[in-house]
Homo-oligomer: A and B are copies of this chain.
Amino acid sequence: MHPTAFATLPKPPYYAVIFSSQRTDGDNGYGETADRMVELAQQQPGFLGVESTRGEDGFGITVAYWESEDAIRAWRLHAEHAAARERGRAEWYRHFELRIARVERAYGWDREQAHGGEAG
């Protein structure tokens, strides 16, 4: 099992910020800033968790989970986050889509739990 990539969330409702993006070529400081943004988001009131992945083609999806729309708005106004978004437009992204959604139901499944702990 590789549970670390998954966010551990409370029962719905809560909010999801779904960010899909196509990167430009090269790192150009992206990785360091992305790590810093996760570190910073974790310190914000109402932050619940984040899941993120990117394929070799540079297309990635990050979903950040928040308690409320107010928490999302406050994070949006954070100065260091705003500066990172500016740099994203200037350097890191070719295209992105941002969608804000209210999570209403959730369901999880785990191989080890389903099979009583045997190796899967």
Contact = CB atoms under 8 A, between A and B. Distances in A.
Question: Quick one: copies of this chain in the complex?
Answer: 2
Contacts of A6: 20, 22, 95, 97
Chain A interface bracket (under 10, 10 to 19, 20 to 34, 35 or more): 35 or more
A89 B110 contact: no
A56 B56 contact: yes
A107 B94 CA distance: 15
A81 B24 CA distance: 35
Contact of A58 (B2, B18, B108): B2
A102 B24 CA distance: 30
Nearest to A96: B109
Contact of A53 (B7, B60, B108): B60
Given A16-B16, A59-B53, A102 B102 contact: yes
